[in-house]
Chain A
């Protein structure tokens, strides 16, 4: 059931972030919502459950994107590993650090994207709206990121509790 939930969320996120900015300009500067899901998987779920989906998300986004293949996968993979590393010395229950983690993730992904594009793509230059784009993403993420992560965490916990009531030992 969890995998089904993740697949549905994955699909919704892809459709949301590839369709809405076309029609509503206010979503044009939105950050990559998958980052929130990677953070969620790193913080709240087991490696066995999270790792395959991080790889799956990365491949799905790379397949749909026009960037060099592996770009999204790289950002999700290393972000996930970094979060697993962070858990070693941070208390997961402390929600105050979530905005910092979200902003850090946005900056991390932008560095990977821009680094790849400026270093490896022939004749590529640093985009002209660099600061504006990154700032917009950071502002969006500070406002919405932690709320979305906590909402999804809460929804997942409630769903798991509800599903357990159908198991024989709970009847």
Chain B
């Protein structure tokens, strides 16, 4: 009744339709924890860690034994930097004391010390369009999905999947990432979104809010993931369109994602995020 060619064409159309539906559904929720994902992390990540450590080892040998040419100059500049840091440290101590006094005056509750775990980055997504990395700590160290990942420079991302010894981190530069944020000076609120590049954008900032280049962006703590006050980046460009209620704000993140080697996972920040299906 039907020719072989016709059956093949119909089959291909059905296959394409099913494929598009599956991709469409999976694109809506890119953070489901799958058993396959955990098994793959468990099997492959030790090799990634081995390779990463090998490269580190060779690099360290190079740095320590062969690359001594500029060490003397570097030492001088480090001594200078240390002096400056000491001065800064002194002023910060003063600030800390005055802050403590003011805090007691205002009867603020002291902020709890956060429990963090240090993890090394052992792998990254090969596609330039997807911004995720694999770290060498997992559920055995208390890491769970939804936990915030930071560096001393600022916010890095959040855990999207975890096996016993490894976890996957969605970086804030990924298009699927969103962080509720504030400008430090004017307290204008917006959502920091990834651009799949080395920049971020701050969405939903009202036009009437005055934002200037160089303004520091910090987390607002209202998304239930990142604790309040963590640095995200600084404003690089502000575009106020002639129409519309929002302005376009572009941010340069403080974290250098090209050189991300170690991160801190905040274990007890808040309740881990529960990913809900749309």
Binding site for B on A (CB under 8 A): 11, 14-23, 25, 28-30, 32-33, 59-71, 74, 77-78, 113-114, 116-117, 119-125, 127-129, 133, 137
Contacts and interface: CB of A to CB of B under 8 A. Distances in A.
A107 to B, nearest CB: 14
B7 interface: no
Of A18, A20, A30, A128, chain B has the most CB atoms within 10 Å of the CB of: A18
Contact of B134 (A64, A116, A121): A64
A59 B26 CA distance: 14
Contact of A15 (B48, B176, B258): B48
Given A19-B122, A137-B128, 4 more contacts: A15-B44, A67-B125, A68-B23, A120-B28
24 contacts: A15-B50, A16-B51, A17-B126, A19-B52, A20-B51, A22-B261, A32-B127, A59-B40, A60-B40, A62-B36, A63-B34, A64-B41, A65-B130, A66-B170, A67-B30, A67-B125, A68-B23, A69-B32, A69-B34, A125-B175, A125-B195, A127-B129, A129-B196, A129-B197
Interface SS of B by simple majority: mixed
A69 B26 contact: yes
A18 B30 contact: no
B36 A59 contact: yes
B196 A127 contact: yes
B198 to A, nearest CB: 9
B27 A19 contact: no
A11 B26 CA distance: 25
A68 B125 contact: no
